[in-house]
Amino acid sequence: MKILLIEDELSVSSFIKRGLEEQGNNVVQAFDGITGLKLAFQDEFDVIILDVVMPGMNGIEVCDQLKNKRMTDTPILMLTALGTTDDIVTGLETGADDYLTKPFKFKELLARINALVRRGTVSDENEALVLKVQDLNMNLKSKEVYRGSTEIVLTAREFRLLEYLLKNKNRVVSRTDILENVWEVNFDLGTNVIDVYINYLRKKIEHGFSSKIIKTVIGMGYVIKE
């Protein structure tokens, strides 16, 4: 894999670069946000590892430029010491595909990177292109969601969460199920991020509409039913 590492702490950057190169990866380093953004525009990468607190341009600003301005589809893993629920949600809402807090174990970083790459390459040609429940329609090809004639604008993470719930319609999915299939990790994020995103989703697809779509099963998880 070719990986862009944007990290201003020299010791952390060197540690990550050495470990990734030992796994056979090609790592390009940048030590500030502005340089990292230029490199991301100039070349193709399989994954971008992005620190948040950096001089010149922070990671949130870099991610916003890359994702929300539609400049790249390359998965972005944010790596930072800021680990509260609000910090994580801010990073994910900006367009980051995953979020890992410092300090971390290298094998955990490697697992996150491999999960991001798998997510971008796995596809099913026989998969339905439109998922439906009640008057809600999700088009997996155009990435559009409608309730009736009203378009629902979702972030990438909200879209994946709703997609997973719809694909498991009429089945209760636990927070662990969501963590493993939407975040593609099998360890606890240590926050209530999943509950936060369920609430985000509910506000967008249920507020102002006559019927609810996402049901909470106390002590078990969530379900979408016909």
Residue with tokens 């026989």: 126
At residue 100 the predicted structure's pLDDT band, cuts being 50, 70 and 90, is confident
Shared-domain flag, residues 80 and 184: no
Residues 103-117, mean pLDDT to the nearest whole number: 87
User: In this structure, what CATH number is given to the domain that contains residue 196?
Assistant: 1.10.10.10
> In the structure encoding, which two tokens stand for residue 195, read together?
């509950």
- Higher local confidence (pLDDT), 81 or 184: 81
Shared-domain flag, residues 204 and 93: no
Shared-domain flag, residues 34 and 74: yes
Residue 213 has pLDDT above 90, yes or no: yes
Do residues 5 and 49 make contact, with C-beta atoms less than 8 angstroms apart?
Answer: yes
Shared-domain flag, residues 57 and 115: yes
Q: Against a cut of 0.75, is the pTM above it?
A: no
Do residues 56 and 77 make contact, with C-beta atoms less than 8 angstroms apart?
Answer: no
**Considering its fold, how many domains does the chain have in total?**
2
Structural domain harbouring 107: 2-121
> In the structure encoding, which two tokens stand for residue 73, read together?
């589809």
pLDDT, tens digit, 9 for 90 and up, residues 127-173: 568 899 999 999 988 889 999 999 999 888 889 899 999 999 999 99
Shared-domain flag, residues 116 and 14: yes
Shared-domain flag, residues 112 and 27: yes
Shared-domain flag, residues 18 and 91: yes
What percent of the chain lies above the pLDDT cut of 90?
41
Q: What is each CA distance from 211 to 60, 79, 172, 207, 226, in whole angstroms?
A: 36, 39, 19, 9, 11
Shared-domain flag, residues 12 and 69: yes
Q: Which are the contacts of 70, defined by CB distance < 8 A and separation ≥ 6? A: none
Domain boundary among 79, 96, 121: 121
DSSP code of residue 64 = I
Q: Which are the contacts of 123, defined by CB distance < 8 A and separation ≥ 6? A: none
Domain boundary among 83, 104, 121: 121
Task: List the single range of 29-43, 57-71, 160-174 with lowest mean pLDDT.
Answer: 57-71
Do residues 8 and 54 make contact, with C-beta atoms less than 8 angstroms apart?
Answer: yes
